[in-house]
Structures are given as C-alpha cells and as structure tokens.
C-alpha cells in the first residue's frame, strides 16, 4: 500500500502539515491575533467575525468550528487569544483542544491589560510553542489515513463535464486504498440528491440526506426568492449553467462511485474511513472551513471560472477543466483536466494525475494557494446576532 | 449517469440519450452545423443563433413547460417555445427547485 510522510500526533491521528494556529475566540481579538501572526513566521491565524452575541445552536456551531480547527492534526500547537467577556468560552475551547495532547496556550486581552501587552505576551507564547513543535518528526504512514475533502467553486460547464468526474476517479482510487472522502455543499446537490441518496448504505442515511436538502430548500422558501442568481451565481450562469439542478448534476460526480457511509453535521469530526457527506452551505470558504474543522487533511477543489481559495491549515489543490482559466489564472491552478474535453486524456488518466497530486501534497509539496498565502476562513451562521 | 467519452475535434457533447440539449465545446456561430452523437448514432443541428463555448443548444424543438434534460436528468422547464438550434439558458428555461418566489406566489 502507498505510504506518505505524516506527523503522528499524541492522540494517534496523522497530520500532513505542522502549523502553529493563532485562534481568536471572538472578532474583538482579531487584531491582536493578526499582529502576533505577522511577527511569528510560520504561524497561521484565523480571524473571523463571530464569538459574541450568539446563542443556542448558532453559538455551538462557532464553538465547534474553532475547536475543530485547533484539533485538526495538521495543527501542531495552538495559541488562543480571547477578549474576556465574549460568549465563546476560551477555557473550554482550550480544554477540548488540549484533549488531543497538543500544546495549547491562552492569553486574554482584558486579563493582560490591553492590546500592546497581549501582543507582546502572545509573540513570546507563540515562539515557545513553535520551539515545541519544530522537532516533530515526519514518519511513514499509510495513505489510508488520508481524509480528503472534495469541493467545487466558481463552477462552469467544464466542472460537470471533466474536472468533477476526473476528481471522482481520484476519489475512487483513494477510497480503494482505504482512505476517506468528504463531500459537502448541501445546496449543490439540490436536483441531484436522488442520485447521491441512491448510494447510501441504508435507509437511515438516505433519509438524513433528504432532510438536509429539505432544510435548505425550506430556507429558500422562507426567504421567498428564486435561488438562481445566488446559486448558481452570476459567474456560474455566465459559464453556461442555467439552474441549480444543472449545477448540482455536474457537482456530485466529484465524490466518485463508492457507497455513502453517513451524513454528518457541519464541522462534525469524520467518524471512519469511506465516503461521507457533510451538511454545509455551498459557499466556498464556509464549506472548506467546515471540512478543515471536521479534520480533513486536504481539499481538492475544482473550478471552471477560476478561484484562488485556500485555507489556513489545509492545503487546497485547485483543479480546472477550462483551458482558458488554466492559462489566465495559471498562478492559482494546480491541475488542468481540459485535455479530457479534447479527447486527449481519459477521465481515468486525469483522475490518476489528481491522485498523484494528492500524494505529493500530502508529502509536503505546497499547493498554489499555499504558495500565494491564501488563508481564507469563515464560519457559517445559523442564527441572528443579538 | 453514463460516462461520455470526448473525441478530438468535437464541437459539442450530448451527455445522455434522454437529453434534449447539447453542450458546446467551442464558440459556434449562427448558421453553423454541429454534429452530436446520441445512442451511438450521429445527428446534425444547424444553430439559429451564435452560442458561446459551454452554453447549451436545443437539439429538438422544445415546447413551453417541457422538461429540459441534461445528464439524463431534469435541469428545468422551458418558459417559452424553444426551436431546434436555439441557445438554451436562463432566458428561456426556469429552474424547478429552490423556488421560494413561486412558493410565496402560491400562498
């Protein structure tokens, strides 16, 4: 079986990167986090808009995503920065991340006495954490440990014709090797959910999937709008996609042909190997962030129109099927599948190429998004601000 | 969904035997003839307007409210009569799903 180089964490999980993560528990701590991150090379920060004036399931989701980002095995150590009066409980975030065995430090801006002192102390703490993880060895681990998210964004007609089905072939290879595939984007299976559900391992999983789709569609009904224009987006429409059904039918092939093991909630930890569906918005950044928080190691992201999306802790491999985009946005694209449309490469050959890129990136090769410093992060909301 | 194989030099592709639209693989001008393969047989359609790369052309005459099929599945319904060779897109087809606007209108 194929072997990759990974970081074996205290809890037995394997990471393919060794990031120091600087994590604000609330929007009010963003600037302090950014200043620390700027001063500590090799650290990544996840500024976000949330953490206060939230209640119920909405608050729980924000908490779950922040903890999940910290727990992701691509992260070697975490520095938490809180303000002190927010809704998110920093102590609990710390305890949950520490349960993985990785080093975690926490500073509180009100406790430290303002931004300047917090930044100074934060830089010291961050450097100490970096020293702790610098010597983490990369060891041989089986490819079956890999959890790969499959996502599409900035889709056009080529997404459904070549890049998504080619990614599906790569997914099949990884699943055959015992690995894990996670597909999200509930909004983007609308009109194709019967085909996804047909692969479910049992009736319960099938019903969960239909329920997720129903919830999203009910939201659209509640808003009283035609979702066309929002999804498919103006760019999707310019790229030839006429309805959400057409987009969805092109989307679903990226997960390959394996049975669907289960449907999990947004940012829930991936339970075992095989193919899983994560209930999530189609929004690129929210979906990739949810996958990262669920413990995905890397994301394969197909795009026809061309999008630069990255993530602070998870490498994102950009795959296009549009030869014009490949040329115009060469600095963002990792893999070009357009030769499939010209009959010069089969989907199987293209899928093999994607699979090999997954292995290379798992072994440490940087993606274009990593090289360019694309570290987009956002948390999807399911409630109002109070 | 059946897998299509792409051949060099093809101007368009029909993804499934049940489809009534073809997806263009190049920009095609009004009056040009496109050849597509469906069920192993080859057919021709003359485009009656310019259609861009990636967009769809009707390969049969489609009546108002008729279902538009791509990948062998419904992608919407015709909002007007769509003659063969016409550009099929948001101006002449409606999505069926995610239509909160229609839900409200019927309440």
Please state, in angstroms and rounded to a whole number, the distance separating the CA atoms of residues A248 and B54. Answer: 16
B3 located within any domain: no
Taking contacts as CB-CB distances below 8 angstroms, the residues of chain A near B55 are 157, 240
3-state DSSP helix/strand/coil percent for chain A, to nearest 5? 45, 20, 40
Number of domains, chain B: 1
> Region B43-65: what's the mean pLDDT?
96
Would you state the structure tokens that stand for residue A356, as one six-digit string? 């090999």
Q: A381, exposed or middle or buried, with CB in 10 Å at 0-12, 13-18, 19+?
A: middle
pLDDT at A1: 79
The beta-strand segments (E) located in A226-308 are: 260-264, 274-278, 298-302
What's the sign of the alpha-carbon dihedral A357, A361, A362, A364?
A: positive
Whose CA is closest to A158, among B26, B69, B19? B26
Give yes or no for a contact between A354 and A170, defined as CB atoms under 8 angstroms apart: yes
Please state, in angstroms and rounded to a whole number, the distance separating the CA atoms of residues B73 and B15. Answer: 10
B5 located within any domain: no
Task: Give how far B76 is from chain A: nearest CA, Å.
Answer: 7
Q: B17, exposed or middle or buried, with CB in 10 Å at 0-12, 13-18, 19+?
A: exposed
B1 located within any domain: no
pLDDT at B3: 59
Give yes or no for a contact between A316 and A367, defined as CB atoms under 8 angstroms apart: yes
* CA-based R_g, chain A, Å: 20
Where residue B6 falls among pLDDT bands split at 50, 70, 90?
A: confident
* Domain harbouring B58, CATH code: 2.30.130.110
Q: Does B95 touch chain A (CB under 8 A)?
A: yes
Buried b vs exposed e over A64-81: b needs ≥16 C-beta within 10 Å? bbbbbbbbbbbbbbbbbb
CATH fold of the domain at A19-134: Rossmann fold (3.40.50)
Give yes or no for a contact between A107 and A122, defined as CB atoms under 8 angstroms apart: yes
On the CB side of A105, CA atoms within 13 Å amount to 19
Please state, in angstroms and rounded to a whole number, the distance separating the CA atoms of residues A157 and B23. Answer: 8
Would you state the structure tokens that stand for residue A49, as one six-digit string? 């808009």
Helix (H) or strand (E) run with residue A67 in it: helix A56-71
Summarised one tens digit per residue, pLDDT across range A254-281 is 999 999 999 999 999 999 899 999 999 9
Would you state the structure tokens that stand for residue A364, as one six-digit string? 């440490």
pLDDT at B107: 46
Considering A236-240, A268-272, A294-298, B34-38, the range whose residues carry the highest mean pLDDT is: A294-298
User: For all residues of chain A together, what is the average pLDDT?
Assistant: 96
A37: DSSP letter? H
Please state, in angstroms and rounded to a whole number, the distance separating the CA atoms of residues A79 and B70. Answer: 50
Comparison of pLDDT for A343 and A44, the residue scoring more: A44
B18 located within any domain: yes
Q: A384, exposed or middle or buried, with CB in 10 Å at 0-12, 13-18, 19+?
A: exposed
Taking contacts as CB-CB distances below 8 angstroms, the residues of chain A near B37 are none
> Region A91-114: what's the mean pLDDT?
98
Binding-face residues of A in 330-349 toward B, CB within 8 A: 340-344, 346-347
Mutate to test the interface with B, among A186, A212, A213, A245 (most CBs of B within 10 A): A245
> Region A57-75: what's the mean pLDDT?
98
pLDDT at A173: 98
Please state, in angstroms and rounded to a whole number, the distance separating the CA atoms of residues A275 and A255. Answer: 8
Whose CA is closest to A48, among A110, A113, A93, A17? A93
Give yes or no for a contact between B101 and A225, defined as CB atoms under 8 angstroms apart: yes
pLDDT at B98: 87
Helix (H) or strand (E) run with residue A78 in it: strand A75-82
Q: Hey, where are the domains in chain A?
A: 19-134, 144-371
Please state, in angstroms and rounded to a whole number, the distance separating the CA atoms of residues A167 and A181. Answer: 11
Range of the domain at B31: 12-106
pLDDT at A192 over 60: yes
B7 located within any domain: no
| Nearest residue in chain A measured CA to CA from B88 | A242
B4 located within any domain: no
Where residue B10 falls among pLDDT bands split at 50, 70, 90?
A: confident
**DSSP-assigned states of every residue in A84-103:** SSSSS-HHHHHHHHHTTT--
In a 3-state reduction of DSSP, which class is residue A43? strand
pLDDT at A227: 86
Of A245, A253, A343, the CB nearest to B8: A343
Summarised one tens digit per residue, pLDDT across range A130-146 is 999 999 999 999 999 99
Q: Taking CB atoms and an 8 Å limit, are A249 and B70 in contact across chains?
A: yes
* CA-based R_g, chain B, Å: 14
| Nearest residue in chain B measured CA to CA from A341 | B6
In a 3-state reduction of DSSP, which class is residue A180? strand
């Amino acid at each position: 079986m194929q072997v990759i180089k990974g970081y074996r964490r205290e809890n037995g999980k394997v990471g393919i990167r060794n990031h120091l993560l600087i994590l604000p528990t609330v929007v009010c701590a963003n600037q302090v986090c950014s200043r620390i991150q700027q001063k500590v090379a090799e650290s990544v920060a996840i500024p976000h808009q949330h953490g206060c004036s939230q209640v119920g399931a909405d608050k729980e989701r924000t908490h779950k995503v922040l903890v999940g980002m910290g727990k992701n095995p691509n992260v070697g150590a975490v520095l938490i920065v809180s303000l002190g009066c927010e809704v998110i409980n920093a102590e609990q975030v710390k305890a949950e991340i520490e349960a993985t065995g990785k080093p975690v430090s926490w500073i509180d801006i009100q406790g430290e006495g303002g931004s300047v002192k917090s930044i100074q102390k934060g830089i010291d703490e961050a450097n100490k954490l970096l020293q702790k993880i610098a010597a983490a060895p990369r060891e041989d681990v089986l490819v079956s440990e890999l959890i790969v998210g499959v996502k599409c964004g900035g889709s056009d007609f080529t997404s459904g014709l070549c890049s998504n089905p080619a990614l599906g072939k790569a997914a099949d290879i990884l699943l055959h090797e015992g690995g894990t595939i996670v597909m999200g984007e509930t909004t983007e299976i609308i009109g194709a959910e019967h085909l996804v559900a047909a692969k479910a391992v049992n009736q319960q999983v099938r019903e969960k999937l239909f329920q997720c789709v129903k919830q999203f569609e009910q939201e659209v009904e509640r808003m009283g709008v035609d979702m066309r224009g929002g999804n498919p987006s103006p760019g999707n429409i310019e790229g030839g996609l006429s309805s959400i059904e057409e987009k969805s039918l092109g989307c679903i092939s990226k997960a390959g042909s394996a049975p669907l093991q289960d449907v999990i909630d947004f940012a829930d930890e991936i339970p075992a190997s095989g193919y899983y569906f994560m209930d999530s918005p189609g929004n690129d950044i929210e979906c990739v962030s949810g996958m990262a928080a669920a413990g995905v190691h890397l994301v394969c992201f197909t795009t026809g129109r061309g999008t630069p999306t990255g993530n602070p802790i998870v490498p994102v491999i950009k795959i296009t099927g549009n030869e014009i985009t490949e040329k115009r946005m060469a600095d963002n694209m990792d893999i070009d599948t357009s030769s499939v449309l010209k009959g010069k490469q089969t989907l199987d050959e293209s899928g093999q190429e994607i699979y090999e890129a997954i292995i290379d990136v798992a072994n440490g090769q940087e993606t274009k998004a990593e090289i360019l410093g694309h570290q987009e992060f956002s948390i999807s909301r399911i409630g109002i601000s109070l | 969904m059946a897998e299509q194989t792409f051949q060099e030099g093809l101007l368009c592709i029909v993804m499934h035997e049940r489809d009534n639209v073809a997806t263009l693989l190049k920009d095609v001008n009004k009056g040009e003839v496109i050849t597509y393969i469906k069920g192993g047989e080859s057919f021709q359609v003359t485009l009656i307007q310019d259609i861009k790369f990636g967009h769809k052309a009707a390969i049969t005459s489609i009546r108002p409210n008729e279902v538009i099929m791509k990948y062998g599945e419904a992608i919407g319904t015709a909002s007007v009569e769509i003659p063969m060779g016409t550009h099929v897109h948001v101006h002449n087809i409606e999505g069926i799903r995610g239509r909160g606007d229609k839900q409200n209108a019927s309440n």
